[in-house]
Chain A
Amino acid sequence: MILRPPPLPLWLLRRCLTGDAQAGPLLGDLHEEFHYRARRDGGSAARVWFWRAALSLTLSISAYRAAGAVIPGHRGIPGESAMSNWLGLEAVVHDTRYATRAVRKDWRYFAFAVAIVAIGVAASATVFSLAQPLMLRPLPFMEPGQLIWIANDGEGDGMSAVTSRTSNLTDFRSMASSFDGITGYNAFFQADVYNYIGSSGPRRLTGAGVAHDFLDVLGVQPQLGRNFTAEEGTSDGPLAIILSHAFWVAQFNSDPAIVGTDIIINEMPRLVVGVLPSSFDFASLFTPTARVDFLRTFPIDERTDRWGNTLAMIGRLDRQASVEAVQAELDAIVVGLQEAEPDRWGLGARVSTLRHHLAGPHTRAMLLLAGAAAIVMLIVCVNLSNLLLARAPRRTREMAIRAALGASRRRLIRQMVLESLIASASGAAAGILIAHQLTESVVRRASVSIPLLDTVTVDGVAILFAAGLAIAVGVVVGVFPALQVSDGGSQQGLTGSRSATVGRRARSLREGLVVAEIAMACVLLVVGGLLLRSLQEVLTAERGFESSGLVAWDVGPARDFGTYGDEAAFFEQLVEAVSAFPGVEAVGLVDSAPLGRNRSWSINIPGGLPEEDPEVHPHLVNDTYLQTLGIELKAGRFFNSDDMTIGLSARADRFMTEEERPESGLVAIINETAAQALFPGQDPIGQYVNTGPDWEIVGVVADMRHRTLEDAAGLQLYMPFAQNPDHDGLSMLVRSDLPVATLRVQVEAAMQAADPGMPTGDFETLDDVISRTTSPRRFTLALLGGFAVAALLLAIVGIYAVLSYGVAEQTREIGIRMALGETAQQVRLRIVKRTLLLASIGVGVGCLVALAASTAAQSQLYEVGAGDPLTLGAVATMLVLAALAAGLGPAIRASRTSSIRALETP
């Protein structure tokens, strides 16, 4: 197999050389040299060489182009240009050599400039890379712009409010003309249990149920095999699955022969008909933080329609159709269907682009981060300008000499800009490396629930973006001091003298820049502070249950049970076995662990009130669940073991017909919010709620935040799982002080003993669950907080640099003042006062801007107002103190000025 040069630098170089007659032979020679080196020194050394050669060429050529200079040897006529000029770039080397000499003479300045540009570029490139897959790059489908998301327009914010019944899909498919296709997937697939016995023992798999034409509508071609057929999409069709790429690689070692064979899942053979391409990761797109091992078909028929709102619908627009036109068409269809069938429920359609659906919830956070990165970059520019302005007087003399010796002004400007470019390009290179590390660490934290985050890389586009940014910074920041300095061909430049007016003007300019810096850092710190306060509020909000010491196991028995009673008994025995372990305080069962599932059921109250059927979040639990979570009982009683034996279905399919249901004995517990909403002013105990059968309310418990930590509890209904078999598998919550590793061994042994075919490895501590659900918030905060700290440091450095320079510049003035009687303390006080003045103006302006900025960031805040006085006060104090600390050094140095020496200074 022929070795290839690394694609990224090659791509960069190609972009750089596009449309150039020299490109072909040059690229060919580089290729050949790469192979030559690979043979001689090995592949890795050759790759390193290629990176270096390609990057140095790209940077040199870009630098020349940016400086507006004619690239040496390049005259645009094929065959005319010289070879070595491309590769050696002799003239670049000549000019660059002069610039590097200048840089070497002043290496402290250079190192500092590189460091601050690196910070700015790292921030910008990181945010750019993070935003790319979700907001900039096309989604990994064919013609992704034509894909739209069709949500239901149900009440409430549960997932059931945005998903649809399968009959909606069937009707939309047959009646809407603006689509090339409409498809969907079962949005509640994560609750399905799939046990698979692989080479490493039983394992629980996640399979997403999709309509048979799901991949066709998205335009995704399986990497191997084929898509589902219509027959496989029916309830009684053959069982077929398509493996995810990651699962295929991990479990089957990328064996292509797996396609066409059966694998046993839940003791049923399923035909592997295909393998998804690596570019399409279902989970990464639609259910970030979850894992999807395979796709199976989800039948679109009357049976699944009875399950209620289950489908997430995606449509592919006809090329001529617009989103608005589709919305209008679907509105008309919905009205028509509802009129024809007034009792039909769950009918509705709200259309948005698929990108908007995926990116929408994160757009504001990304924009906030982009804004923060832009501010960091601006502070970097201000700092750099300040540095260059501070260096300007020294350079003026040097430039005046060069001008006197015949250098043109253009040449001098180019020279200065090149110096600035060297610093910014080196900074950009370091910044890209930092950005690479940063994004890697973000991507590796797989528990951040932002779509496509795992595809984030600092790729060629991001590197180009960073390089462009660095060049822009280099030119913009370099050109103004260059204009100022290169104007020094006059007598003034040669003599080195400057009028007092020029000095004062330069100083006010520098101080103005410092004020701007403090103001910008203030904005970032305030927004970061508000986000931190929000996270704190979220984490300390009353959630209604105690998370520490709780671990949740997914329990999905692999074996078949004769009756639901047997199945219930199996679970109860498992609970008993685990409860008996020393160190285990309590064990409970629930069909959806806290913060794990998002669903709602419509219920009604026998007797009429309220008018609209309210939506409740149902929990199917055992008699110890509420106590295990530490949910407080407010009225009535908890479930008891008797409740766990009533109404058990004797049928193998678990479900009972109306006739088989017991007349009484079905009991439920509601939360306080439900009690107030459903039975205002009454005692809810002894009342009934209806979900089909009637449930007698026997208890009222405290509210518990089950969906997110941010949202209030809403209406909750707890039912014994024994009385309602509408679940797939259960979660077992174990409360214990034992270390998780110890507990795990015990619990897994008990699970193995109960059912050797049952996977045991799916567990999570509730603290981890909480950390995952707050991950987007932490993610934004971590990045923005980092930027804010960088901004603060940059501002401190900026203040220090400007004051130090000011003191050095005023040595003579300070000396005279001291000779005339000013004391050291007065000198210190004057400089400290000046620092305080600058800091206060900066903080004042910053707080005003921060107020506006945090209003824009309101959606990211929780229980904290945009003008939170605590945050504003803390930031203002911190900035003023930081400014004081930065100003103290120069102030002390100034107060030690010796009058005699100062007066001797020219």
Chain B
Amino acid sequence: MARVGEFELLVILAILRSGEAPYANRIREDLEANANRAVTRGALYRTLDRLKNKGLLVWEDAPSAAPERGGHPMRRLVVTALGREAARDSRDVLLGYFEGVGAALDGK
């Protein structure tokens, strides 16, 4: 059973995709650019909180020298093993469901 909603899944995937820069603002930029979604700061942070409470995500403060952050630290987001498992489960469920509906989905 999928343990995460669609947006939560997108957030987990965005963190996993982000490689060297798993930070909230990067995640949001990625989601806006590639997932075709307008993401408000509040919605993203609430989702991050939910994922953390579910044990799918942890974070730690990391110093940042980026001038854009005015010298303030950042939160480095890390998807836990449980989080990766949840993403895999969601993928499996989705792919399983898509199987065989190709023609119906395209309306042919």
Are A and B a genuine interacting pair, yes or no?
yes
Tell me the bound Cα distance from A31 to B45 in angstroms.
16
**A31-B68, A31-B72 known; A88+B52 contact, CB < 8 A:** no
In this assembly, does A813 line the interface, its C-beta being within 8 Å of a C-beta of chain B?
no
B 36-74 to A, binary, CB cutoff 8 A, 1 in contact else 0: 000001100110110011000001110010111110111
Report the Cα distance A406→B69, complex, angstroms: 46
Secondary structure of the A side of the interface? Answer: helix
Query: Do A35 and B68 form a contact, CB below 8 Å, given A24-B73, A25-B61?
Result: yes
Please judge, given known A-B contacts A31-B69, A79-B61, whether A25 and B42 are in contact too, CB under 8 Å.
no
Q: Does A892 contact B (CB under 8 A)?
A: no
List of A residues within 8 angstroms of B25 by Cβ: 29, 32-33, 36
CA distance A864 to B57 in the complex (A): 77
Contact (A25, B72) CB under 8 Å given A83-B49, A88-B45: yes
Is A627 at the interface (CB under 8 A from chain B)?
Answer: no
Contact in complex: B68, A87 (CB < 8 Å): no
**Which single residue of chain A is at the shortest CB-CB distance from B25?**
A32
Pair B74/A84 contact, Cβ less than 8 Å: no
A29 CA to B66 CA, complexed, in Å? 11
Q: Which of A2, A4, A28 contacts B73 (CB 8 A)?
A: A28
For A87, the chain B residues whose CB sits under 8 A away are 41-42, 45
Q: Is the pair B61, A2 in contact by a Cβ cutoff of 8 Å?
A: no
Contact partner, A29, options B24, B29, B60, B67, Cβ 8 Å: B24
Q: Closest A residue to B50 by CB, please name it.
A: A84
Would you give the shortest CB distance from B64 to chain A, in whole angstroms? Answer: 6
Minimum C-beta distance from B52 to chain A (A): 7
Q: Does A82 contact B (CB under 8 A)?
A: yes
Instruction: Sort chain B's interface into a size bin.
Output: 20 to 34
Nearest CB in chain A: distance from B91 CB, A: 26
A83 touches B45 (CB 8 A): yes
Question: Using Cβ atoms and an 8 Å threshold, which residues of chain B touch A708?
Answer: none
Q: Could you give, for residues 18-62 of chain A, a 1 whenever the CB lies within 8 Å of some chain B CB and a 0 otherwise? A: 000000110111011101100000000000000000000000000
Residues in A with CB closer than 8 Å to B64 are 28
Pairwise interchain contact A27-B67, C-beta atoms closer than 8 A: no
Residues of B close to A79: CB separation below 8 A = 60-61
Q: Does A85 contact B (CB under 8 A)?
A: yes
- In the complex, chain B residues whose CB is within 8 Å of the CB of A28: 64, 69-70, 72-74
Residues of A near B75 (CB, < 8 A) are: 25, 29, 83
Nearest CB on B from A725, distance (A): 64
Contact B49 A85 (CB under 8 A): yes
With both beta carbons as reference points, the residue of chain A lying nearest to B42 in the complex is identified as A88
Q: Are B68 and A32 neighbours in the complex by a CB distance under 8 Å? A: yes
Docked CA distance A4–B68 (Å): 8
Q: Which residues of A contact B42 (CB under 8 A)?
A: 84, 87-88
Q: Contact check: which of B52, B66, B72 meets A24 at CB < 8 Å?
A: B72
Taking CB as reference atom, which chain A residue is nearest B45? A84
Given the known interface contacts A31-B69, A31-B70, A31-B72, the answer about A36 and B45 at a Cβ–Cβ threshold of 8 Å is no
Contacts of B72 in A (CB 8 A): 24-25, 27-28, 31
Instruction: State in angstroms the CA–CA spacing of A86 and B48 once bound together.
Output: 13
Q: Tell me, in angstroms, the Cα distance from A625 to B55 when the chains sit together.
A: 93
Q: Would you call A82 and B24 a contact (CB within 8 A)?
A: no
Across the interface, do B70 and A84 meet the contact criterion of CB distance under 8 Å?
A: no
Q: Nearest residue in B to A90 (C-beta to C-beta)?
A: B46
The distance from the CB of A597 to the nearest CB of chain B, in whole angstroms, is 53
Q: How far is the CA of A78 from the CA of B73 in the complex (A)?
A: 13
Q: In the complex, which residues 1-25 of chain A have their Cβ closer than 8 Å to any Cβ of chain B? A: 2, 4-5, 24-25
The CA-CA distance from A31 to B73 in the complex, in Å, is 11
Contacting residues, chain A, for B24 (C-beta < 8 A): 29, 83
B29 touches A88 (CB 8 A): no
* Residues of chain B within 8 A of A83, CB atoms compared: 24, 45, 48-49, 59, 75
With A83-B48, A88-B45 given, name 4 new contacts (CB 8 A).
A28-B69, A78-B61, A84-B42, A84-B46
Interface residues of A (CB under 8 A from B): 2, 4-5, 24-25, 27-29, 31-33, 35-36, 78-79, 82-88, 90
30 pairs across A/B with beta carbons < 8 Å? A2-B67, A4-B70, A5-B70, A24-B61, A24-B72, A27-B70, A27-B72, A28-B64, A28-B69, A28-B74, A29-B25, A29-B41, A29-B74, A29-B75, A31-B70, A32-B66, A32-B69, A33-B41, A35-B68, A36-B25, A82-B49, A82-B53, A83-B49, A83-B75, A84-B42, A84-B48, A87-B41, A87-B42, A88-B42, A90-B46
